[in-house]
């Protein structure tokens, strides 16, 4: 016999099943990433219709069967509706969901990732932050939460903690000025970029979205992270491709016509 459990989480992904049902992927505090069936959730007027859309965050009451979960009820605290309505940021939001989906596992403690996802979506909706910076912060912190962040606190060759002005993708982190000559792929970076990476990796998730950087530092951060992700994650995210295409169109001015 199964039983009902209540979990707190966010809908990462939705798949239509049959005529009226959905299968959703949930990132939960209690059970990590799980999938659940939502019967009748595509019927007009269903209580689960909006509750089982991507981004919906709240409490889900699930029937735990032998091999699957079924959503019985949901009480949503935040639908993140502004994300879906403003398509400038929608792409970013979907990329964060796909990233979390790729990284998280069932029955794993994913509380930090859930918190990061929630705070990052809130930052996306706020006009106070450059969404490109929000993306870089999310990516680097997600790597840190999963223990895959670059080592930016000491030189990878000699262990020194000062003058960390060089970065090696191959070695995955910082190199000091004295050692840089011996690391062929080391590139010189801005001191502020190194500080920014150190801050993102070490700060509490609740305090992550509290700073701005210059355009120059942001561009460097984006470039470093894109290369780092290509090497250490090596996954091509569909939503990121769409996001980058949309940004190219915007910068080319094609959206104005």
- Shortest approach of Zn ion to residue 232 CB, angstroms? 21
- How far, in Å, CA of 97 to CA of 27, rounded? 10
Taking CB under 5 A as the rule, does residue 179 contact Zn ion?
A: yes
Report CA-CA distances (Å) from 175 to 60, 149, 152, 193, 210: 47, 15, 8, 14, 27
Look at residue 218 and give its three-state secondary structure.
Answer: helix
Taking CB under 5 A as the rule, does residue 176 contact Zn ion?
A: yes
How many secondary structure helices (H) and strands (E) does the chain include? Answer: 7, 8
Taking CB under 5 A as the rule, does residue 155 contact Zn ion?
A: yes
- HSE (side-chain half, CA atoms, 13 Å) at 171: 22
- How far, in Å, CA of 187 to CA of 4, rounded? 55
- Shortest approach of Zn ion to residue 198 CB, angstroms? 16
- Span near Zn ion by CB under 5 A; candidates 54-62, 100-108, 127-135, 179-187: 179-187
- Span near Zn ion by CB under 5 A; candidates 126-134, 163-171, 176-184, 199-207: 176-184
- Span near Zn ion by CB under 5 A; candidates 7-15, 99-107, 172-180, 198-206: 172-180
Report CA-CA distances (Å) from 248 to 99, 124, 181, 222, 254: 21, 19, 36, 15, 9
Taking CB under 5 A as the rule, does residue 213 contact Zn ion?
A: no
Binding mask 74-103 for Zn ion (x = CB under 5 A): ------------------------------
Taking CB under 5 A as the rule, does residue 194 contact Zn ion?
A: no
For residues 212, 102, 115, 71, the Cα torsion angle rounded to the nearest 10 degrees is 140
Closest to Zn ion by CB, 93 vs 173, is: 173
Closest to Zn ion by CB, 48 vs 180, is: 180
Taking CB under 5 A as the rule, does residue 180 contact Zn ion?
A: no
- Shortest approach of Zn ion to residue 180 CB, angstroms? 8
Total residues contacting Zn ion (rule CB under 5 A)?
Answer: 6
Taking CB under 5 A as the rule, does residue 152 contact Zn ion?
A: no
Taking CB under 5 A as the rule, does residue 157 contact Zn ion?
A: yes
Closest to Zn ion by CB, 90 vs 168, is: 168
Closest to Zn ion by CB, 112 vs 163, is: 163
Taking CB under 5 A as the rule, does residue 158 contact Zn ion?
A: yes
User: Do 39 and 19 touch, CB atoms closer than 8 A?
Assistant: no
- How far, in Å, CA of 219 to CA of 203, rounded? 21
Taking CB under 5 A as the rule, does residue 12 contact Zn ion?
A: no
- How far, in Å, CA of 184 to CA of 30, rounded? 45
- How far, in Å, CA of 232 to CA of 35, rounded? 27
Contacts to Zn ion by CB under 5 A: 155, 157-158, 160, 176, 179
């Amino acid at each position: 016999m199964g039983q009902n459990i209540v979990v707190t989480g966010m809908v990462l992904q939705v798949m239509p099943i049959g005529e009226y049902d959905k299968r959703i992927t949930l990132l939960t505090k209690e059970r990590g990433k799980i999938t659940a069936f939502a019967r009748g959730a595509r019927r007009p007027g269903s209580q689960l219709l909006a509750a089982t859309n991507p981004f919906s965050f709240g409490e889900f009451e699930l029937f735990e069967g032998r091999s699957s979960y079924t959503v019985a009820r949901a009480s949503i605290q935040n639908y993140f509706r502004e994300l879906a309505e403003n398509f400038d940021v929608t792409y970013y939001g979907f990329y964060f969901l796909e990233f979390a989906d790729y990284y998280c596992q069932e029955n794993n403690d994913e509380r930090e990732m859930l918190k990061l996802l929630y705070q990052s979506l809130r930052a996306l909706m706020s006009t106070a932050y450059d969404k490109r910076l929000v993306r870089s912060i999310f990516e680097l912190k997600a790597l840190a939460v999963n223990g895959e962040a670059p080592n930016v606190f000491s030189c990878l060759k000699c262990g020194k903690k000062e003058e960390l002005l060089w970065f090696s993708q191959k070695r995955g982190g910082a190199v000091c000025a004295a050692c840089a000559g011996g690391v062929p792929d080391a590139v010189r970076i801005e001191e502020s970029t190194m500080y920014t990476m150190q801050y993102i990796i070490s700060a509490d998730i609740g305090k992550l979205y509290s700073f701005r950087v210059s355009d120059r530092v942001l561009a460097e951060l984006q470039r470093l992270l894109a290369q780092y992700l290509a090497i250490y994650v090596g996954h091509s995210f569909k939503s990121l491709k769409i996001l980058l295409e949309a940004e190219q169109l915007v910068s080319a001015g094609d959206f104005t016509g």
